[in-house]
Amino acid sequence: MKFITTESSKKRNAPYTPGVIHNGILYISGQLALDPATGKVAEGGVREHARQALANMNEVLELAGVPKENVIQCRVYTPDVAYWDDINVEYVNYFGDHRPARVVVPTGPLHFGSLVEIEALAAVPEEK
């Protein structure tokens, strides 16, 4: 296994790793809407939270050398399905024409008051 850590994850004493590569798959831990620079939830509403969670996911992808077009599946957690349409706007802005498999899971409150958390699986390009 190869572990992918971000600068912000190195500062926290969390009992998990943002990404783990195993058998050609990158497993990305749930990414909240935390701004890595401040450690606080992104300001604004659900769209800003979705944008930040996707940016945090993207950081793990980039550190692992995996393009976003290799994302196979996302799980999107949100405390209210009423946010679904706004999350979709940011999701499409991020992925463009790429359409990974996805599930949206309504939850109770998310940690730190985040309105979005995203986890993902991605295919790691073969090394040449």
pLDDT digits (tens, 9 = 90+) for 64-120: 999 999 999 999 999 999 999 999 999 999 999 999 999 999 999 999 999 999 999
Residue 13 vs residue 124, higher pLDDT: 124
Q: In this model, does residue 10 exceed pLDDT 90?
A: no
Q: Which pLDDT score, from 0 to 100, does residue 14 have?
A: 79
Please report, in angstroms and rounded to a whole number, the separation of the first and last CA atoms in the chain.
19
Q: In this model, does residue 26 exceed pLDDT 80?
A: yes
For the beta sheet containing 19-22, the strands, ordered from the edge strand earlier in sequence to the opposite edge, are 2-4, 19-22, 25-31, 117-123, 71-78, 101-106
Q: How many of the other CB atoms lie within 10 Å of CB of 57?
A: 25
Beta bridge pairs of residue 34: 41
Q: Which pLDDT score, from 0 to 100, does residue 9 have?
A: 82
Residues in the chain, total: 128
User: Domain coordinates of the chain in residue numbers?
Assistant: 2-123
The domain made up of 2-123 has a fold known as 60s Ribosomal Protein L30; Chain: A; (3.30.1330)
